[in-house]
Amino acid sequence: MKGILRVGSVVSLVLMLAGCGTMIGRMGDATKVDYYKGVDGNLQLLGVRGGDGMPAAVICYFMIVCPLITVVSLPVDAALDTVLLPVDYVNTL
């Protein structure tokens, strides 16, 4: 029973951390891109893309684990954005 609880908690933690760029990219109208908003959100969080001083990137780099989690979750966000391409297409019409 303890093993199932440990595995379940690790899996839930990984699922909560993965896809954070997708959540950032889809909140509000902060991004100007129509497709792959999650990947764009990750790149803004890393400071690669963005404007207005990039306060999110500065805060992210103060937390040492944030850039690592962002880079690790980038493929997951790309996969989620690929699945959500029809939704983005309908929203651009």
**For position 16, what pLDDT does the model report?**
65
Quote the CA–CA distance of 87 and 49 in Å, as a whole number.
23
Structure tokens at 68: 């690592």
**For position 35, what pLDDT does the model report?**
82
Which residues lie closer than 8 Å to 36 by C-beta, 6 or more apart?
25, 78, 81
Higher pLDDT, 2 or 27: 2
Structure tokens at 12: 């839930």
**For position 27, what pLDDT does the model report?**
67
pTM above 0.95, yes or no: no
Average pLDDT over residues 20-27: 66
Average pLDDT over residues 67-80: 82
